[in-house]
Structures are given as structure tokens and as C-alpha cells.
Structure 1
Amino acid sequence: MMMLALFWAAQASVVPPPSSFPQSLPDPPPSIVVTGERLSTLRDELAACIARKCPPPEEIQRSLALAEIQFIAGDYLRSRATLLKARRRNARHAAQFPIDVADLHRATALLSNVNGLPDPARIGTIDAVDALKKGLPENDPRIFMERLRVGEVFAREGRLIGALDHYDWVAKGAKSAGLPDIEGQAMLRSAVLLAAVGDMIKSFEPAARRAADAILARPEPAFLPYRNGVRVLRAQLAPKREREAAVKTAMQQIEPDPNAKGPLLIYAPPIDMQDAVFGTVANDTPLWADVAFNIAPDGRVTEVETLRSAEQVDDRWVEIATRGLRDRRYAPSSIPAGGLARVERYSFVADFVSFGRSRDSLRSRIPVRSSQRRVEVIDISLPQQQASAKTPAGS
């Protein structure tokens, strides 16, 4: 479990996650406080769209918009149900509208994951690849990117070889297709995974070093963010006694990236929920909390605050999950002079797991909720929160 925690902490640091709900149709809400009126409006608009048999892309985008607001409101079950209904109506249109249908599968997979359904989450991610393959050329960059997400699912499930094979396949295919940016992303994901495993199993360390060195040896401009990623990775996995020095070294070595789309996270401690006692909380109840914080110009995190949470969430769980938030370090060069405000959704997920049971030579597998919970973190910052958090005086 700790190996996977290290992997995901490093992964979050060096590889920006894909958008959770791609291409939502309406403008984003003005705040994360979701009103019943807005939900009602989106439901009515989707129902009207379906009634007049609107084109599949429009229906898909309206379904995504409604599901997104339901998710923000904490209604995980209805959010996923909205997408499952849309998928049943529109999956057959993949050949004609591959990108829209893939968006739908991808968002459904995300909601399956936070609802504690790992198998549907994996299947939905693979379905997104299949949808793109039905309507796009074989070497389209979007197919490669979707395959990287499949590799991420395998890594999350602890399927090391499957994940590495997937990343290697994407890297080779992208190189042949002349797509260095995607090649770099695939190589970095391999390096991150190998380094995280090597931190626990020393026999993997040589492979991890080779993977990192291969990226640093690539001088092309497209590899700049991935060279930076390797520097971040080394800081992320440095021993505690060497961490501060490793962070400083990474900050000195970071190459300026004019195309960066967000703050560059140098170090983030893994989330360890072993100290959390969840007690008798119903495992089918979505448990979540929205946490706001500010990234100061020096790259340190300040002003951590829980904005709101599900009714049954214990404040102690949030404290444990966000314990390392103040220890995060971002590259100062990626932060505006006035700082940067962010909001993250912390979901405490109890997965469905299956146990074999034999009786009279009969064997069944009964899915039950795990007694343990993992934490999924999703950035739900609004566009205005990505600007300076505090306007400098006189501006």
C-alpha cells in the first residue's frame, strides 16, 4: 500500500492529471456552492434535449455538465447514474462522434472510481480507447493519450508489468508517429512508477535510473516538461533527511517552461490514512470534503481551510488526509506574484472487493465494501481561482 501511495504522490507531482469532466457545455458555476436551482435547470435542459432528439454531441455535453454539478454537490451516485444513462443512449455513436463518446466513457470511469467500483472504472477507461479507435486514425495523438490513462489504471491496481508495458507501447508508437510530447509523457510515467517501486524494492533502482537518464538525455524542446519532471521526481522520493536539499536542487535545475498550464508541484507527501478510524459509517455513503488553500509566491502552501464536507465526514479524517498539504512545495517561478488560490475535493472511497467462497464444490464471489478507505484528490479550482489570489497593491 505504501508503494502505491508513493507512486501516486510522485505521479501527481510530475504529471498533470487529465480534466475530470471534459468539454462541459455550460460556463462553470461562479462558486463551488451548488444551488438546487442550477441542478434543476441542467436537468430540465438535458430532458428537453433528449425529448427533441438533439445530436449526440449536445446530449453528451449536457449530461457531462449535469453530472459535474451533481458530483460537486456530493451526489456521487446520481452523478454516475446520469452518465451511465447517457452512455447507454450514445455509446453506439462512437464511429461518428469518437471524441464525444470517449469523453463520456472517461468521465463515467472517473465517477466509477470515486464510487468505489474499480472494475467498471478500468473497463470505462478501456472503452474510451475503443471509442476513439472507431472514429480516428490509428496514430491520432488522442488515442495514445487515452492509452496512457489505461496504464494509470493498471498502476493504481498494482499491476506493475501491465502498466509498464502500456507506457512502453505508447512511447514507441508515439516516437514512430513523430509525437515527442506524448513519447515524453509515456517515458516519464514509466520513470515515476519504476522509481516508486525502486524506493521499496531495491532491485528496481537500476531500471528507474535508466528511465530517468533517458529522459534527461533528450534535448528536444518538447521534452522540457519531462526533464523537469525527472528533477521533481528525485526531490519527491528523496529520503526525509535529504528532502530539503533535494527540493532546493530541483528548484535550481528546473528549466523555465513558457507553456506551463499550472503551478509546478515539486514535493507532496503521500496521503497515509492508517491513523483514521472510520467506525460504523455506512460504506455506501459518499464521504468527501472540499479544501481550499493558497500557494504563496515562494511556493509554500498557506491558509488551508475546509470549505464544506459531507455530513458524516469526521474532521479528523480531513486533518489526516490534508496533513501533508502544508508541506507541499511548488516551484516559485510557476506562481503569480500575488499567490494562487486552489480548491481540491478529497473523496474517502471504500472500494467494492470480492472474496471467493467455496461450499459443496461450488464457488461464488460476493462483492462487499472494503472496511478501509482510500483518498482520491481532484482539483476543482475554478478559472478565477487560477489567477492571482491577492492583487498586489497599486495594480
Structure 2
Amino acid sequence: MAGNPVPIPGPKPKILCIDDLRDEASAKLPVGIRDFFNSGSADQITIHENSTAYRKYRIRPRVLVDVSKADTSTMCLGRRVAFPLGISPAGLQGMAHPDGEIATARACARRGINMGISSFANYSVKEIRDAGLSIGPINHAMQLYTMKDRDLELKIIRKAEAEGCIAIFLTADSPVLGVRYNEWRNDFRTPKGLNFPIIEWDTEDIQNRTHDDGFQAFNDDGHNWARDIPWLRSVTKMEIWIKGVLTAEDTLRAIEMGCDGILVSNHGGRQLDGIPATIDALPECVEAAAGRIRIHVDGGIRSGSDMFKALALGAEHVWVGRPALWGLAYDGEKGVDLMLDTFYNEFKRCMQLAGCNSIKDITKACLGVVRSDGPLARL
């Protein structure tokens, strides 16, 4: 008798862009985890527009420029990085791959860029820092919420300092969690076996409550500029960045409070739905800042040309979160390597094709806006 047929694996999918990576990674993930990673809040307007808003901008290339020595490097968190991309502090990376933040840190160090560490990381700050430094130089920022347990918040700061983190990214847009229908519909809970060592929750603590209930239990919705920024300044010499700024008013407040930088961010469309795409909020913040504070941006960046457009509109640096999760889900550390290589190669080619030899060459003059009634409008 003939034996049972042996399935022949098909060819490995060819990942040519970040959208390819998203599709392949999403197909591998269970529905609840996929929805947690990929969804935004309420009607999904902001998460959608975070990416689509880039489409109204067009690059105005200069030709016959010698770009044979184009340099993509820039400064970020006190060191020169290979190109102006960092990995945002995305939590629960262990749901995408068991190596989670360990794999991400190694890939970032290999590519010569920096990384943010989420308070909801599945590994400790020490483990993440050690993993990156085992490959090469890397700087980290510690993402922080304002917490009801001030002693634990201070403990997190002290551990981050001790391990050599450069900055605090204070998440300012989350007094409560956004209206996340998919999390509620799926009764999303962190899978068994995953811990949150930074906030000192073990898997048993986590299993006893939903993500929403857990967040409300530790997060302080009484946070405010006058209380929290001076307190942070009094307890740490790390840089203090405000993550979640979308308006000129809050940009000016960050300057007034002596913050080191802002991240123009809407939490990946996961908080208040119907707020601006970050690329649309960026020019207002840049104008208000007038060079007095450093400005980075995250949200919806899915290509090297998106990076280029954000820099042209005044950001010094850009960050991405979901692409790292997709890289992990697709192929662990190798998947994150692939994601970073994709961004780097696209960004360098975009620079060269636009006639830019350095980051400082990327200015408003490089962009125009599509008009419905006629020619491209220069910025």
C-alpha cells in the first residue's frame, strides 16, 4: 500500500515591503492577539488615517545630484545612529514571539539604532539592555506611565538609570485606556506564562484581570504637568520626553516645563479615536516649538518614503511599533532584522532619488501637497 502523502512546503513568501510583513505576520497570529496588535480604538478612524495621511504629500526630487556618498546617519538619544528610525516602546512582544524584546534589542543593536522599552515588556530592563549590548552599542528610553504606586514608579526609574537608559518617555495620552471594541469583544487577556517584570506582575496577577482592568488598577488618571514633571526632574537626571503630544499648546507647555523633547504620537490610534494623524499634527507642533525642543514622531510609518516625509515636515527622528511586532511574529529576531533592513534600504534610496545627501538636506522644500483643483502645492 502506498504511504500517506507527505505535504510539500510551498516557497517561503517573499517580503518586499512592510505591508507584506504585516500580512504574513497577521496570518500566523491567533485572532485575539492579532486584533490586540493591529486594531485601534472605537471606529478605527485614527489608526487608518495615521498611514493614509502620508498619501497627500508628494516628494519634489532634485536631479543630477551626486548621491554616491549619501549619509543616512543622525543623532538620537545622545549617540549617532545609522538612520533616523527607532523602535517604539511596544508592550507584550512576547505574544508575537517567545524572545520578544530580547530579539528586538539585538536586531536594533545590529542595525545601529535605538529602542524604547515598554512598562509592559515581558522581559526586565536588565535583560533587554544586556541583549542589545551583547551585539553592539545601543541606547534605550524607558517608557513610563504616571502610577498610583509612586514607590514602584520610582523603583522603575532607578532600575532604568542603573542599567544605563538615557531617557524617560512619559506616556501622557493615557489617563484611561481608549474604547477598544476588539479587546472587549475578545475578552483579551495576556496569555499564560507571560510576566510584566518591570511593573512586578507575574502571570497569575495578569490572568486574574482583563488588560483594561489591570491598567486602571495601576495608572493614575490624576496625572498633570504641574505635579508630575517637577517630580520626575527631582528624582532623575535622565532626559524627560513627553509621548503623546498633538497640539501647539502642549508643545509650548513641554517647553515651559523644561522637557527635553516630545514625541508627536497618538498611541498608534489606540486611545481617543478621531484625533489627528500624527503626520498632520506634526507641522503645528514644529511651528510652535520654533527649534526650542527636540521633536520626534511615531504612528503609521510604513515605508522609507513615509520616514522621509516626516523628516521633511520637521521631525528629527521617527519611531515605529507595530512593524517590530510583525517582524517578531513572522520570524523572531530574523524577522525584526528583515523589517529594519527594509526600512533602511527604502529610506536610503528615497534620499538618493530625491537628491539628498544628508538628513539636513531633507526640508520642506522636498515636499508638496496634492491639490484637488490643480498643480502640486509647494510647502
Q: Same fold (TM over 0.5)?
A: no
TM-score (norm 1): 0.29
Give TM-score scaled by structure 2 length: 0.30
| Higher relative helix content | 1
